[in-house]
Chain A
């Protein structure tokens, strides 16, 4: 009996992890009918985001209040990745044949894995990203000042040219001067920032003049100046951040497994309840799933945004006619999945005590299985499917005797159950019977 309860606990722990990841697959599928195979990598990046936060701010400490900060760091990393992924890779393919985004997803997955493997111990790449970020922020500031809706469908590149030119060239001037002489004193730094802003404004104005004939509206000079100044200030600030913070950390190479920080309270000696050993990280994982499920239920059923999601999943075209911003709903769906994946990444790190760049592949595959098992498109199906899959795996290790038992065959039994469920209940455990879904 103890053994049964023990494996039940193990299975629920494993299942909670699968469930947290599976929600991401199912939410995105429910809304855009896309199987986001890169979601496993979002989970992996969540774990690395938590590790990064730890190394940046708390290296060597173990108090429990670090954990929420790490989770926030993990969420920023994975939500950022998921949203960028949606914007760059999936949105342009929104109306493409179904196969195109699927292949893209696999491509993104490989890209993210290799990126983490090759560059995690080389923080120099963040400079490029921060520079891009500076240009982007400058552009947004300029757009805000000019009161132009830059993401309006009729905006063309020549509407954006003055602001982008201003922000880009301001940062370019700053980069050139800073690279020639990295050790400027404070006064000269101010000089460089002002110079960058001025040159940026001039170039932005020239760009505006060049495209004047075709532009929808004239971008005023103050807006151009704001874009240039904003970009160059952000560039300087992020450079200081890089020098003082990022480059001072000794980043471990992701080519090998990296030990995950051990936090008080949630890791350490296991608790004994009767004959059952319960790991502290297991309690964290199951608790996280419980809290997330409640919040998720509340979000989907009780908020405007959640009802918008339901509407889009039922009929995107009509939802758009009803005034729902479908693009934003899709971004929210990706972000929602990423938030849960980030929590799963942290709890996997705590449980397994190490993370690696490949961890997203197998976990993603299992979570996808869990989503299908529970009925893809149904959020609570994903939770149930994850738990069922985890428990089956644990029980198969314990109770199937002989040649076909043990942990060697646990995946086989998990997939056998999946096949059986799909044969007799193709829509999954909790899925509704839908005629046209593929």
Chain B
């Protein structure tokens, strides 16, 4: 018995040391092989939740990147170089995300990373990749602070020059919802509720600011606890102010029941939220009374875009086990942004490490027509395309209401 545990400890030590040294030894072998051959290898990392509750989204990201890389290799987009995908699981948690980033950063063949899904994970990944000049392009982070710093509302400052993203941010999503409610739906009195988490609070903050600027009235501002499942007290506090709609900042596990309880309590107005509630599960939780509830989400619906048809058919042709999910198009564009940059940065490069800085610079300058629209980045690393879509629950399904370009006023 004692011996067995010694063996076990020994085995895990060996595995751990292998894992730590693996990157070094593998790239050593690679460079040995490369000196003889004509093609060199560059890796594009993926950091996304490949297991757990959000794995459907994460695996969609992984496969979309794989598709982009495969097409680049097939068309020999970068002469003399072969691209590889190295996907790491972050379990949608910060610690595994940081470990994944550290593993990729210590691999000298990694030229860029696509990921992450969660804003909170990116906050851990950014500082690991930045010192190594590895470019990171996220397909899904919507927290404005990632590109414009913690004080993004008053004093925007880019914290990491290596970070870019292909989706729009909450700084745009909130105002977009405000304009839809005020200008299109002709609603002047809203109540806001958020769950006090970074995402919800930010969303409600930007929404409120824009809605007031337009001339609307926020008649009640309340919060809930994310752990609560009974919202009667909040609903009773909101109801007497007679709002015409409720804007909710948070995710569907709270928003669904909130909508149902709101309507059961006689507050028969639509609930509107951000991409956090844009999920079929919202409708199952909110029940039959959820008809008319609204959500905004970043970008145009991928399956409706002309430019996306080819991506969808290519993706399906590859027979991946999981669908491309909500962020497939953005991941494909993110990978292509890196690949486009590599065309210039890797052309005359000796090895990957020396080409990293040039890649970061080149990603900042890319401009091409991607699956989700024009792909280009502004001075903060945010996408210049600010397309958002309003969805509405109709007959137990999310239906598209309108897709619009957000113009800053």
Contact = CB atoms under 8 A, between A and B. Distances in A.
A393 interface: yes
Nearest to A277: B266
Contacts of B217: none
A10 B287 contact: no
The 3 closest A-B pairs by CB, nearest first: A397-B233, A352-B229, A10-B232
B102 interface: no
B222 interface: yes
A353 B237 contact: no
Interface of B: 53, 196, 222-225, 227-234, 236-237, 239-240, 253, 256-257, 260-261, 264-266, 281, 284-285, 287
B284 A259 contact: yes
B229 to A, nearest CB: 4
Nearest to A10: B232
A356 B253 CA distance: 10
Contacts of A348: 229-230
Interface in A222-259: 255-257, 259
Nearest to B268: A269
Contacts of B228: 362, 407
Given A277-B266, A356-B229, A407-B223, A256 B236 contact: no
Contacts of B196: 408
Contacts of B236: 3, 6-7, 10, 277, 394, 397-398
Contact of A354 (B229, B232, B265, B266): B229
Interface string A1-25: 0110011001001100000000000
A427 interface: no
A319 to B, nearest CB: 40
13 contacts: A257-B257, A259-B285, A262-B287, A267-B264, A348-B230, A359-B229, A362-B228, A397-B233, A397-B234, A406-B237, A407-B237, A408-B196, A411-B225
Contact of A256 (B53, B227, B239, B240): B53
Interface in A263-292: 267-270, 272, 277, 279, 281
Interface in A343-358: 348, 351-354, 356, 358
A410 interface: yes
Given A259-B284, A407-B225, A408-B223, A10 B233 contact: yes
B332 to A, nearest CB: 28
Given A352-B261, A358-B227, 20 more contacts: A10-B236, A14-B232, A14-B233, A257-B256, A257-B257, A259-B285, A268-B264, A269-B264, A269-B266, A270-B265, A277-B265, A281-B264, A353-B260, A353-B264, A353-B285, A406-B223, A407-B222, A408-B223, A408-B225, A410-B233
Contacts of A6: 236
Contacts of B257: 257, 352-354
Given A394-B233, A407-B222, A408-B225, A256 B281 contact: yes
A7 to B, nearest CB: 6
Nearest to B259: A353
Contacts of B266: 269-270, 272, 277
A437 B119 CA distance: 50
Nearest to A408: B223
Contacts of A411: 225
Nearest to B240: A3
Contacts of A2: 240
B306 to A, nearest CB: 35
B233 A362 contact: no
B234 A256 contact: no
Given A353-B261, A354-B257, A407 B234 contact: yes
A255 B284 contact: no
A398 B237 contact: yes
Interface in A380-438: 393-394, 397-398, 406-408, 410-411
Nearest to A262: B287
Given A262-B287, A269-B266, A270-B264, A407 B233 contact: yes
Contacts of A269: 264, 266
A259 B287 contact: yes
B223 A14 contact: no
B253 A256 contact: yes
A356 to B, nearest CB: 7
B234 to A, nearest CB: 5
Contact of B222 (A256, A267, A279, A406): A406
A411 B196 CA distance: 15
A257 B264 contact: no
Contacts of B285: 257, 259, 353-354
A362 B227 contact: yes
A398 B233 contact: yes
Contacts of A7: 233, 236
A268 B266 CA distance: 10
B249 to A, nearest CB: 14
A7 B53 CA distance: 37
Contacts of A270: 264-266
B251 to A, nearest CB: 11
A279 B230 contact: no
Contacts of A10: 232-233, 236
A256 B240 CA distance: 32
A428 to B, nearest CB: 25
Contacts of B237: 397-398, 406-407
Contacts of A410: 233
A380 B53 CA distance: 43
A103 B253 CA distance: 31
B120 to A, nearest CB: 19
Interface in A170-191: none
Contacts of B233: 7, 10, 14, 393-394, 397-398, 407, 410
A397 B233 CA distance: 6
Interface in A58-91: none
A269 to B, nearest CB: 7
A411 B261 CA distance: 20
A30 B266 CA distance: 42
A13 B232 contact: yes
